[in-house]
Amino acid sequence: MLGIGIDTLVTFNPITVTPHTPIDEVVRLMSQHGIHHLPVIDGDLALVGMVSDLDVSRVLDQLPELIGDAAQDPALIVDAMPFVAEVVTQTVQYIAPGDPPEAALALIVQNEFHCVPVVHLGRLEGIITSTDFLREMSYGESPLARQSVARVMRPLPTRIEASVEIVAASRVMQPAGNYLLVESAGHPRGVLSQRQLRRARLGELLADAPWLDHSSAWNTTARCVGDLLPVDLLTVTPNEPLSVAAQRMLERRVQGLLVIDSTRRLSGIVTECDLLAALLG
């Protein structure tokens, strides 16, 4: 048990969109606030669904075809822009305000979600995210957070060279799982997550659509997987507590760390998914 109330973790009155919100506004909101997902509500605050950066990527990938000749005339793009209603995920699992935090965490871990809405009588009250749980683990107050990394670390994933382009890496990632080990000339560079790759792909698409309003929060210059990783090597040892791993992931905004043993040997990785599963117990 986490030993905390759900209110400790929930973001109440989150940023939302409606089915009639154009996709370019979704891009602006995600960029401005550094978020990956937005609840979709109607005029009565009833939850309609969720829209994620993955949904946005899919739309932008098809956008030249969708808007046709309007792409050559910014004045026409607004009228041709698709709306949230065309991409929203309507089948959404959620929790109620009186549910324990473990209910939301179980949905996140079992379904690999990153966001769970909190709904009361059909109306959206808030959201709880994987980052909220990771932050709770970083405090080290739960006995589960004080377990050693060795208890949850996983074997090394599929390897990929740092020079591989983002589009090609996406094809490798799909059958390989949610994480890749990035190397440069045989030396480890870091752990690349599906989420990082997805946002990088979105950055590429935004770079090809300069008329979309977005900020520097989106990496529109990365072209290969090595560009997505910090310059320094992010590691943890098998004996360090999970809370330390959570702190490092939050500080550096990564979803995986290399596990280096006392002999400086690379012995595995630990991921955000591993930490959340451990927190669930």
Domain 6-138 identical in fold to domain 148-280:
yes
CATH of domain 6-138: 3.10.580.10
pLDDT in tens, 107-144: 999 988 899 999 999 999 999 999 999 999 999 988 99
Q: Which residues contact 77 (CB under 8 A, 6 or more apart)?
A: 24, 67, 70, 71, 211
Tokens 């979105």 map to which residue? Answer: 202
How is 85-106 classified by DSSP, letter by letter?
A: GGT-B-----B-TTS-HHHHHH
pLDDT bucket at 78, cuts 50 / 70 / 90:
low
Q: Is 267 helix (H, G, I), strand (E, B) or coil?
A: strand
Give the Cα separation of 92 and 102 in Å (integer). 18
Q: Is 227 helix (H, G, I), strand (E, B) or coil?
A: helix
- Domains of the chain, by residue range, sit at 6-138, 148-280
pLDDT in tens, 60-77: 777 666 555 555 565 556
Q: What is the mean pLDDT of residues 30-39?
A: 88
Integer angstrom CA distances of residue 139 from 10, 225, 244, 279: 17, 31, 9, 12
* Residue pair 267/238 in contact by the 8 Å Cβ criterion: yes
Integer angstrom CA distances of residue 196 from 52, 86, 92, 224, 228: 14, 25, 23, 12, 7
CATH of domain 148-280: 3.10.580.10
Q: By percentage, how much of the chain surpasses pLDDT 90?
A: 56
pTM metric for this prediction: 0.87
pLDDT bucket at 55, cuts 50 / 70 / 90:
confident
Give the Cα separation of 56 and 28 in Å (integer). 11
pLDDT exceeds cutoff 90 at 242: yes
Q: What is the pLDDT of residue 127?
A: 96
Q: In this structure, what DSSP letter does residue 183 have?
A: E
Q: What is the pLDDT of residue 65?
A: 65
Q: In this structure, what DSSP letter does residue 241 have?
A: B
